[in-house]
Structure 1
Amino acid sequence: MQPYSDITSVAFGVLCIASALPFVGVPFPSRAWSTYYADKNRWMSQLSGGRLTPKQAGYAGASLRVAVGSCCIYQPTRVAALLVNGAVVVRGTMVAYRDKRPMRPQWTMLSAIGLCLLLEKL
């Protein structure tokens, strides 16, 4: 099972890193993604109580994605990164539900994290 775990976690890590781009306004893979993340950055700015601007919130989100992605690619830090990311996403899911935000991205991320953790433990 280890090869499947490695392939899945590396793919997840690469996707995490690539998904940092729309956080900072790069329309990748489509303009719709950058629009979604621009709205998410404004929302995260509001959640910070104004301590972060939308741009700063975007860079914080992008930094977290790059860090998690890098740690998922590097096997010794993989489980810790998945658990930390899982905690962040669970909290974000609860807040998104409360604020009636789109839930599909939340469930997708939680499912991907769960799959990577499951394969890592098998």
Structure 2
Amino acid sequence: MWTSTASDIASTTFGALCIASALPFVGVPFPTRGWATYYADKNLYLSQLSGGRLTPRAAGWASAALRIAVGSAAIYPPTREASLIANTAVVVRGTFLAHRDGRPMRPQWTMLGALGLCLLLGRL
């Protein structure tokens, strides 16, 4: 059925992009230096949200590890839906915090849209 194929393609693409997006969290300028700058600022913000328990560097490495785990789980069909639902919960919380703190909202909406698409295609 076409929906199964579309779901596999969307979730595998989403997972691969999650894994690739771990790179700028640790300072690798991928795909551009602008992404590394954005994520360096995000690491500082996540450090502040942790109440200082995490340094910006530690926040970046923790975020990168989480992106790799979520991406891998989204690619692997038995863990796909649970991963997407858990990630949605994290992103929804982050969206509220970002809005509260005047952070850029486009990345939040993009991630929520991608998660919604993957979950919808998985259910069709």
Taking structure 1 as the reference length, what is the TM-score of the superposition? 0.99
Residue deviations 1:75-116, cap 9 Å, x none? Answer: 000000000100000000000000000000000000000000
Percent identical across equivalent pairs? Answer: 70
What residue is the counterpart of 1:40 in the other structure?
42
Superposition deviation, residue 44 in structure 1 = 0.3
Q: Distance in 1 between matches of 2:65 and 2:85?
A: 17
**2:70 is aligned with what amino acid?**
V
Q: Distance in 2 between matches of 1:107 and 1:77?
A: 23
What residue is the counterpart of 1:8 in the other structure?
10
Q: Any runs of at least 4 consecutive aligned residues in structure 1 with deviations exceeding 4 A, and if so which?
A: none
Matches within 5 A, 1:1-122: 1-122=3-124
Aligned residues: 122
- The answer for unaligned runs of 5 or more in structure 2 is none
Q: Distance in 2 between matches of 1:85 and 1:61?
A: 12
- The answer for unaligned runs of 5 or more in structure 1 is none
Residue deviations 1:57-91, cap 9 Å, x none? Answer: 00111011000000010000000000010000000
Q: Distance in 2 between matches of 1:119 and 1:80?
A: 14
RMSD between aligned alpha carbons?
A: 0.3
**2:88 is aligned with what amino acid?**
G
